[in-house]
Structure 1
Amino acid sequence: MPAAPPAGRRERKRQQVRDQLYAAALHLFVSQGYEATTMDQIGETADVARATVFNHFSQKVGFLEEWGVRRRARVNEILGSQHAEGLPVGDQLRRYLKEMADLNVASRAETTVLMDASARYGRLLQDPSLETELARIVEHGQRRGEIRADVDCDQAGQLLAACYFTTILRWIRTEPAPFDLQQRLAGALGIILRGVLDDDVT
């Protein structure tokens, strides 16, 4: 009687195919544009059947959503390895935005195509994933007494995410980059954390 297959082999194979499709899609998006790329081309490039593409990604916009998920996961992985959760909340937020900026700068061509497509065809400003991540950091700081008790953590996360996305969208609009992305995000975060009124103004 043959031995039972190792547990998880089917899932590993499925993830391998998904990774192939994702890599093929990003390559095509960057080389020929999001609009010009078809699901058939993605399947051909990944060397899988057309039906397999749709089994993993029912719509082309799914690749945009996957891109965002993987970016955030990568940042969380980096921060986890740096034990950033023990830092003061302001430093955690600075580190999070810095790592996001570094990923974007390191792959500017990819970011330009994917972020623009996400704004045009995806749910970039409706997807709450990033604001949820940032709100979680704010809430953690609030529990430690670093954030005022009257601050709405969800609203703070929404504000930070909106600031991030609008900054990125301006950054990708012209070539070369019109400003230093990391510095611009750090400056915006500083304004949000400190507020804009002078301490003597009521």
Structure 2
Amino acid sequence: MYDAACELFLESDFVSTSVDEIAERADVARKTAYNHFPRKRDLISEWGRRRRLFVQGELSEEVVATHSFEDVLRHYFRALVKINQVQRPLTIRMLMGWRESGGPFDVDPHLLVEVFRDITARAVDRGELRASTDPARVATILYSCYFGILYEWVAGSDQEAPFDLAQAYTQLLDLTFEGLLKRPA
């Protein structure tokens, strides 16, 4: 069903695609569609879940445990850039659908803020960041900036982005590290 929904979103968009159309494309009954995805926006949650699994696959627990805060975040953002670039048309449809469905201030589709909080908390525990650093606040900043930049990036066409996403996130991380990392005096 998810794949059928994504095909339809790519042919049209999230908002104008009906659950009936999704059920028909997936060759399932309407009731079955609602059993799997009680709300159409739950398809966006599934999209977010699959993206998180992809990025987690790109970032092993060993990397998180043994590399610096800066290296882990840069690696994580490279994986995010990769999935967004590979799935640009679908990313556009899903983000616009998420916006129309009540996001982006609803954390349902993305638990990314928790990922950022955990990465930051580990860095504080290892002494890479000042002890006074609030991992939840850093996570909120990274999460907000990630989506703010991503929403600007999806403003282009399916084939052509308005700017280089990797470069934009590199600038974000450069600013973040300059403000957070303990540097020798």
Q: Which has the greater radius of gyration?
A: 1
Q: Which moved more, 1:35-44 or 1:118-127?
A: 118-127
Structure 1 consecutive aligned stretches of length 4 or more whose deviation exceeds 6 Å? none
Query: 1:23 & 1:90 partners in 2: Cα distance?
Result: 35
User: Aligned pair 1:154/2:136, yes or no?
Assistant: yes
Gaps of 5+ in 1: 1-20
Gaps of 5+ in 2: none
Q: Over residues 104-162 of structure 1, what are the superposed CA-to-partner deviations in whole Å (9 max), with x where a residue is unaligned? A: 00111111111121122143223071111111000011111111110110010000000
Q: Deviation per CA, 1:74-123: give whole Å up to 9, x if none.
A: 10112128x32121011101111110111000111111111121122143
TM-score (norm 2): 0.90
Residue 161 (structure 2) aligns with: 177
CA distance in 2, matches of 1:138, 1:77: 19
Question: Which of 109, 114, 120 is 2:94 aligned to?
Answer: 114
Query: RMSD value over aligned CA atoms?
Result: 1.7
Alignment check: 8 A CA contact 2:116 2:142 kept: yes
Amino acid corresponding to residue 72 of structure 1 in structure 2: R
Report the counterpart of residue 171 of structure 2 in structure 1.
187
Give the alignment of 1:1-202 within 5 angstroms: 21-80=1-60, 83-85=62-64, 86-127=66-107, 129-175=111-157, 176-195=160-179
Shift of 1:185: 0.6
TM-score under structure 1 length normalisation: 0.83
- Whether the 8 Å contact between 2:146 and 2:169 is mirrored in structure 1 is yes
Q: Quick one: higher RCO (CA 8 Å, sep 6+), 1 or 2?
A: 2
Q: How many residues align?
A: 176
What is the CA distance between 1:192 and its match in structure 2? 1.4
